[in-house]
Amino acid sequence: MIESRVAILEVTPDNVLSVGLESMDATNASQFSPNGAIAQLRHRFEQALVAAFGDELAGADPLLVPSSNPKFGDYQSNAPMSLAKRLGKAPRAIAEALIQNLDVSDLCLSPSVAGPGFINLTLKPDYLEARLNAMHDDDRLSVALAQTAKRIVVDFSSPNIAKEMHVGHLRSTIIGDCIARILEFQGHDVLRLNHVGDWGTQFGMLITYLREVAPAALTTADAIDLGDLVAFYKKAKQRFDEDPQFQETARQEVVRLQSGAADTLRAWKLLCEQSRREFQEIYDRLDICLTERGESFYNSLLADVVADLEQAGLLVEDQGAKCVFLEGFSNREGQPLPLIIQKSDGGYNYATTDLAAIRQRIHQEHAQRLIYVTDAGQSNHFAQVFQVARRSQWIPATVQVEHVPFGLVQGEDGKRLKTRSGDTVRLRDLLDEAVLRARADIEARLQEKDHQESEEFIAATSQIVGISAVKYADLSQNRTSNYIFSFDKMLALQGNTAPYMLYAYARVQSISREGKIDFQNLGSDAKVLLKEETELTLAKHLLQLEEIIHLVSQDLLPNRLCQYLFELSQKYNQFYETCPVLKAEEPLKASRLMLCDLTARTLKLGLSLLGISVLERM
């Protein structure tokens, strides 16, 4: 069995994707819900292109993006430049013709043309007010459900039995959970699968070794703790590599396991159950829900994979092994690279299990989208497996299959994160350290302010801040790049951190306590009124929520949502500093309270999609 799905390899800077709506491609943009301003504007532009230049422009991309500079309005279309050659006209003339046919009077102020032919659009304050009032009255903050709900499988976390979860499992677990939460919020039917390593050669090695040194572990639950089990596994691996006789005995033990020998099967179940309980403690701390389906789940399906590939004419016997020769992959000699499906001794490979999983998930689970969250080092593996599955016609055109790669977690020295002794950092220890540091910071601030709090408050707050800081630090990075793990940075109250977001939310709740305000009962006359520039800026950002959630559901980059929430907190703080809330006169007071409430609810929703709980006070 391959070591683990979470072996972490470096990712080059070339893989880093830009952040923000500006990089949104035309396909994704066109799928935005019609609730969003950008979706409505795109539709109007598409109509204007046809009206101005004929049906041949139907479906042309209006290249509409948020403006990079507020002086150019809220949105900008670059379509006139891209169409100049096709239409044989000057970009500015195209822009003027478009404006003549563009009906956006209910959404925007009069469009303007800038420079060689950019079309600038500014949303109307009354349009923003109406959208915000509707958003305030909606439990989902005007984020529409997906137009078509899909059955989606998200495969993530995937630790190995008889081993402890380490820092390498952190990214897969957190990123996969966030993706699942966002898709579930959109109304999709999501199956969260934990493809644990619970089968194969490692069990032959471990059981053989335990028969010699700790036989009670094979018949009695928890006869040894998981830490000792990990140590025994390392020694078993060393024996396997060095001792041919031990190696053969271990392989025979695998055969016994696969054939269902009662004693071996019982030992395997005990080892799996012990690891499973240890894993669950981590998942509970991280608030992660998963359905376990290890490699063993697919064992009975492997022969069918071989039979189907033979029937499809893809299998080729090479040196006794059954292989599929891949297109676009070659060995050092430049010859087509084989993907081994069945070894010469009759055993199966990791790829065979993944092929069986694809077939099962599509044909039995009826999945319409398969998402695999593993390290970037497995990109080639999944590209090869997906190719074989497609050539076998197991993946219909209506099914999306995606590998979601992530980079390396590094220490502050820029190298792979390890303990001082050079060992891989245990995930349990990392979370404990985060909570301890959060607690120390909270106690120091309480002492500085000479303020007393209960032990219950300190303990609960430390847990939320510590775990949230770890999650947010990971999710706020572009997943395709490496990132530096720093407790000091992730626990900071300033910057793009979880504590900064939590503080922004708590700040709104303090307004409620100070003014004895019930945000749920501001009165039927309460309406959003946008008068000041910071109010308009905050309003426009709030209304981008739906677009951001949709975008992340497409490109599966959670850092976009983090960046949105960070900018929301900044814009809210700017609004709060410049616009009196509790001291304002009505109806402005009610309006600004609504903006505060909308900000808090958006932060709470956004953070919940990241797997982070909020704090009512800090």
- The reported pTM is 0.90
Number of H helices, E strands in the chain: 21, 14
- Predicted local distance difference test score (pLDDT) of residue 344: 87
Average pLDDT, stretch 72-100?
93
The label of the residue with tokens 């993946």 reads 395
* Contacts of 94 by beta carbon, 8 Å cutoff, 6+ apart: 52, 53, 79, 80, 83, 84, 87, 117
User: How large is the average pLDDT for residues 311-319?
Assistant: 93
Domains 34-136 and 151-158+168-195+294-407 share a fold: no
Measured between alpha carbons, how far is 201 from 613 in angstroms, rounded to an integer?
A: 41
Going by C-beta distance under 8 Å and a sequence separation of 6 or more, which residues neighbour residue 82? Answer: 61, 63
Residue of higher predicted confidence among 346 and 36 = 346
Q: Place 330 in a pLDDT band, splitting at 50, 70 and 90.
A: confident
On the question of pLDDT at 120 being above 60, the answer is yes
Note the pLDDT tens digit of each residue in 510-542. 999 999 999 989 888 899 999 999 999 999 999
Q: Can you give the pLDDT at residue 274?
A: 87
CATH class given for the domain over 151-158+168-195+294-407:
alpha beta
Query: Average pLDDT, stretch 383-390?
Result: 97
What is the per-residue pLDDT for 421? 62
Say if residues 75 and 69 touch (Cβ distance below 8 Å). no
Q: How distant, in Å, are the alpha carbons of 50, 175, 191, 367, 558 from that of 26?
A: 17, 25, 29, 26, 20
Residue from 247, 172, 162 nearest 197 by CA: 162
Q: Are 254 and 238 in contact (CB under 8 A)?
A: no
| Long-range Cβ pairs for the range 244-249 (8 Å, 24+) | 246/208, 246/209, 249/208
Q: Are 257 and 265 in contact (CB under 8 A)?
A: yes
pLDDT in tens, 162-196: 888 888 899 999 999 999 999 999 999 999 999 99
Give percent above pLDDT 70 in the chain.
Answer: 94
Could you name the CATH architecture of 34-136? 2-Layer Sandwich (3.30)
**Which residues, at least 6 apart from 375, have a Cβ–Cβ distance to it below 8 Å?**
5, 6, 7, 8, 9, 168, 171, 172, 405, 406, 407
The one-letter amino acid code at 346 reads G
Average pLDDT over residues 491-503: 94
CB distance 166 to 428 below 8 Å: no
Omega prior to 125 cis, within 30 of 0: no
Kindly report, residue by residue over 199-258, the tens digit of the pLDDT.
888 889 999 999 999 999 899 888 887 778 888 888 999 999 999 999 999 988 988 888
- What per-residue confidence (pLDDT) applies to 47? 94
At 583 the three-state DSSP class reads coil
pLDDT tens, residue by residue, 545-589:
999 999 999 999 999 999 999 999 999 999 999 999 999 999 999
Measured from the Cβ of residue 176, the count of other Cβ atoms closer than 10 Å reads 27
What angle separates helix 588-609 from helix 498-515, to the nearest 10 degrees? Answer: 150
Q: Which pair of structure tokens corresponds to residue 483?
A: 């990132």
Max Cα-Cα span within the chain? 86
Burial of 196 (0-12, 13-18, 19+ CB in 10 A): buried
Pairing outcome for strands 151-155 and 189-194: parallel
Residue 154 in this model has a pLDDT that exceeds 80: yes
CA gap 599, 542 in Å, rounded? 7
157 in Cβ contact with 454 (< 8 Å): no
Query: Which stretches does DSSP call E strand in 45-185?
Result: 64-66, 75-77, 112-114, 118-121, 151-155
Residue 331 scores a pLDDT above 90:
no
Closest to 517 measured CA to CA, from 581, 439, 587: 581
Write down the pLDDT at residue 422: 63
* Rounded mean pLDDT, 363-386: 96
- Stretch 134-156: mean pLDDT: 95
Give 10-59 pLDDT, tens digit per residue: 333 333 222 333 333 333 433 444 567 888 899 999 999 999 999 999 98
Contact 400, 370 (CB under 8 A): yes
Fold type of domain 435-609? Isoleucyl-tRNA Synthetase; Domain 1 (1.10.730)
Quickly list H helices, 26-167: 26-30, 37-53, 79-87, 91-100, 125-136
CA distances from 276 to 265, 555, 573 (A): 16, 31, 44
Rounded Cα distance, 408 and 387, in Å: 26
CA distance 3 to 142: 45
Confidence (pLDDT) at 35: 61
The C-alpha atoms of residue 18 and residue 298 are separated, in whole angstroms, by 38
pLDDT at 132 > cutoff 60: yes
Residues 502-505: contacts with CB under 8 Å, at least 24 apart = 502/464, 502/465, 502/468, 502/607, 502/612, 502/614, 502/615, 502/618, 503/618, 504/568, 504/569, 504/572, 504/573, 504/599, 504/603, 505/600, 505/603, 505/604, 505/607, 505/614, 505/615
pLDDT of residue 162: 82
Q: Tell me, what's the pLDDT at 31?
A: 42
What are the residue boundaries of the structural domains of the chain, listed by start? 34-136, 151-158+168-195+294-407, 201-289, 435-609
Tell me the pLDDT of the chain averaged across its residues. Answer: 89
